[in-house]
Amino acid sequence: MTADIAITLGVILAAMALFVWNRIPAAVVAVLASLALFVTGVISAPEMLGGFGDPVVIFIAALLGIAVALENAGVGAWASQLLMRRAGSSDTTRLIAIMVVAAVFSGLIGMNGAVAAMLPVVVIVAVRTRTAPSLLMIPLAFACLTGAKLTLLGTPVNVIAATQAEEAGAGEIGFFEWSLVGLPQLVGTIAIVVLLGRRLLPERQSQAIPADFSAHAQTLVEEFRLREGLHRLRVRDSSPLLGSAPGAVGLAPYRGLVTIAAVEPDGTTPLRRELREGDLLLVRGDAEEVGRAALDLHLAIRADDDGGGDGDGHGAPVADVLLSRDSGLAEVVVPPRSALVGKPAFPGMVTDDGSLLVLAVQRGGTDLRAEPVELQAGDHLLLRGTWQALDSYLADPQVLVVDSPEVVKRQTVALGRGAPAALAILGLLIVLLAFDLVPAAVAAVVCATLMVVARVVSLPQLYRGIDWNTVVLIGAMIPPAIAMGTTGAATLIGDLVVGALGAGGPYAVLTGVFLASALVSQFISNTSTALVMMPIGLATAAELGVAGLPMVMAVAMGASASFMTPFANGVSLMVYGPGGYRFGDFWRIGTVVLVWKLAVTVVVVPLVWPF
């Protein structure tokens, strides 16, 4: 064993120990590993820094951005609403539906994006069906982990495997070829969860369940008592408001009157055009002032109205009108030392560009409806405006946002205005990758850029949504993986594996490679496992004299088999708190799923990619 091999193996083993220790962030550990190899002279400075410019890193970062855009467009909210309608009242049907939808999402937008999109869905299902979240969160995680093997997009491990196999001359793995192994794994995982879940999963509540915003607008309507003094006014053919934009309806001359919303004659659909005869204005204020405004502006007061259509059969509840694809609500609090303290505010006040409206002001739980008041620390304001305006204005540190409008929108607005463009761009990405029209990294960057150009997501939202820890971790772990190959460390380990299992033939070696990768993946991230083990798999195939692709697939499947511990992948970590889990909750059902995945890998992989 040469000095470089010893140093490389020592650095990687130390990095694994630090990953398991979990006191230092994984991305920092990976950077330290690369720095250690550089300082000891095993790799050069360009090799140490080259990982961050690797096409794999660019590809994964762009994929994470695309996942953010799809979630922002309301694809996840649409899926949750569809699931609740179609799954019915059967717990088993609902569980299967959750796992199938999560797996499909995982194959299309990646497992991290899928669990992020589906977590609010499952929370809502758990709350509404009074099901212990611990019975749903691990199934969600396992569906995302196995669904990630349906396409190339499912997990960075797939990208790493396909890239390294091609660079090593072992062959190509097609975009949908992953499903030949992934589909039976998914079917078996669903069957295991349905048949054994009640026995092997804990039934436990959680204090870390994310907030359910499905009734967010209704909650704000009740909290700020918006239905009190609410009237609906119909625009007549002689009204001077005809042709005005909904946001330009000014009621400033009428003391205390606020235009809550403008809707079409059906009383349900928010108005997205200029006012016409028959359109309705939802106005809040004193009845006498409403009557004066109706007389002056040629508006008809709906005599059948009892307060905005809530339960009277004449229109949508005011909450449904206020929160739509175009606009939303936000509650903010004026903090101490804010520049807004002492500034005047009143219901009906709008920003200079007219994009944000103050619907209500409260102090100590009491509505301040009449004259403008000077804001004090602790005052609550209810704001309404376009989602873009809310995102822009509420970034100001002068106010504290009670609930993030961005999170509320993702849970409540299904297939928002950007959804058609988002789905079309996703389709373009799949076509580009499936038919190998351009390099994968280029395809992903183009589609992520199109998401911004098409205004599906803003650049700040994109930056906030990308998991930069994952990006840095992968970029920093590429140099140690390269060192495994260049120093001969991978070949050495491959020799050991072949020496121990070679007498049993390629199937025994395939099993050994899978189990070695699976064992490591229980303690460190699956991407790190793949980067470390992939050169070993290729070296083992060369030593044994068989094709490289089966061993590459064994590493890819084993590296993604981190079912037994909660800390080795982002998917399990994301469900750990909401599910109220403990460390030992994963291994019972995770062991069964791991054995099934091993069986599928050993049987199916050699059939699809012969030795």
pLDDT in tens, 130-183: 788 899 999 999 999 999 999 988 888 898 888 888 888 888 888 888 999 999
Q: Quote the CA–CA distance of 460 and 455 in Å, as a whole number.
A: 12
Residue 209 confidence class, pLDDT cut points 50, 70, 90: low
Q: Quote the CA–CA distance of 10 and 2 in Å, as a whole number.
A: 12
Q: Are strands 230-235 and 299-301 parallel, antiparallel or unpaired?
A: antiparallel
Query: What is the predicted pLDDT for the residue at 41?
Result: 93
Domain ranges of the chain: 216-320, 328-402
Packing angle, helices 134-147 and 585-608, rounded to 10: 20
Query: What is the predicted pLDDT for the residue at 421?
Result: 93
Q: Which helix (H) or strand (E) is 590 found in, with range?
A: helix 585-608
Rounded to the nearest integer, the mean pLDDT of the chain is 84
499: buried, middle or exposed (CB in 10 Å: 19+, 13-18, 0-12)? exposed
Residue 328 confidence class, pLDDT cut points 50, 70, 90: confident
Query: What is the predicted pLDDT for the residue at 567?
Result: 66
**Is pLDDT above 50 for 306?**
no
Residue 315 confidence class, pLDDT cut points 50, 70, 90: low
**Is pLDDT above 50 for 403?**
yes
**Is pLDDT above 70 for 311?**
no
Q: Which residues pair with 381 in a beta bridge?
A: 332, 361
Query: What is the predicted pLDDT for the residue at 568?
Result: 64
Across 184-193, 406-415, 421-430, 463-472, which has the greatest mean pLDDT? 184-193
Q: How does pLDDT run across 259-281, given as a tens digit for each residue?
A: 888 888 877 777 878 899 999 88
Identity of residue 249: V
Query: What is the predicted pLDDT for the residue at 153?
Result: 80
How many percent of the chain have pLDDT more than 90? 26
The tokens for 320 are: 């449904």
Q: Is 0.85 topped by the overall pTM?
A: no
Q: Is the dihedral of CA 316, 317, 318, 324 positive or negative?
A: negative
Whether 103 contacts 146, CB under 8 Å: yes
The tokens for 29 are: 């550990």
DSSP 271: P
Q: How does pLDDT run across 15-74, given as a tens digit for each residue?
A: 878 877 768 887 898 899 999 999 999 999 998 998 888 887 888 788 778 878 887 888
169: buried, middle or exposed (CB in 10 Å: 19+, 13-18, 0-12)? exposed
Q: Which helix (H) or strand (E) is 261 found in, with range?
A: strand 258-263
CATH number of 216-320: 3.30.70.1450
Query: What is the predicted pLDDT for the residue at 383?
Result: 92
The tokens for 551 are: 């061993």
Query: What is the predicted pLDDT for the residue at 207?
Result: 65
Spacing of C-alpha 143 from chain mean position: 15
**HSE (side-chain half, CA atoms, 13 Å) at 572:** 27
Query: What is the predicted pLDDT for the residue at 314?
Result: 47
Whether 66 contacts 59, CB under 8 Å: no
Whether 156 contacts 229, CB under 8 Å: no
CB within 8 Å of 67: residues ≥ 6 apart: 109, 110, 112, 113, 114, 116, 117, 465
Query: What is the predicted pLDDT for the residue at 310?
Result: 47
- When pLDDT is averaged across residues 493-517 and rounded to a whole number, the result is 81
Q: How does pLDDT run across 285-295, given as a tens digit for each residue?
A: 888 888 999 99
Q: Quote the CA–CA distance of 123 and 101 in Å, as a whole number.
A: 15
Residue 426 confidence class, pLDDT cut points 50, 70, 90: confident
Per-position DSSP letters for 78-122, written without gaps between them:
HHHHHHHHHSTT-HHHHHHHHHHHHHHHHHHH-HHHHHHHHHHHH
What is 328-402's CATH topology? Alpha-Beta Plaits (3.30.70)
* 3-class DSSP state of 220: helix
Q: Quote the CA–CA distance of 261 and 239 in Å, as a whole number.
A: 17
The CA-atom distances, in angstroms, between 181 and each of 142, 178, 343, 607, 609 are: 15, 6, 63, 10, 11
Q: Is the dihedral of CA 385, 386, 388, 389 positive or negative?
A: negative
- In the chain the first and final C-alpha atoms are separated, in Å, by 29
Q: Quote the CA–CA distance of 551 and 530 in Å, as a whole number.
A: 12
Q: Which helix (H) or strand (E) is 19 found in, with range?
A: helix 3-21
Q: Is the dihedral of CA 59, 184, 177, 83 positive or negative?
A: negative
Provide the H-helix boundaries in 402-467.
405-412, 419-434, 440-453, 459-465
Identity of residue 126: A
Count of other CB atoms within 10 angstroms of residue 457? 24
Same fold for the pair 216-320 and 328-402 = yes
Q: Quote the CA–CA distance of 164 and 535 in Å, as a whole number.
A: 8
The tokens for 87 are: 């799954």
The tokens for 71 are: 């979630």
Tokens 């009383």 correspond to: 267
Picking from 263, 277, 366, 364, the residue whose alpha carbon sits closest to that of residue 317 is 263
DSSP 547: -
Tokens 């007389």 correspond to: 295
- C-alpha Rg value of the chain to the nearest Å: 28
Whether 72 contacts 418, CB under 8 Å: yes
Query: What is the predicted pLDDT for the residue at 313?
Result: 40
Residue 378 confidence class, pLDDT cut points 50, 70, 90: very high
Residue 436 confidence class, pLDDT cut points 50, 70, 90: confident
Range in 182-191, 207-216, 355-364, 446-455 the model is least confident about: 207-216
Q: How does pLDDT run across 473-485, given as a tens digit for each residue?
A: 878 888 887 887 7
Whether 593 contacts 192, CB under 8 Å: yes
- When pLDDT is averaged across residues 210-217 and rounded to a whole number, the result is 72
Count of other CB atoms within 10 angstroms of residue 561? 29
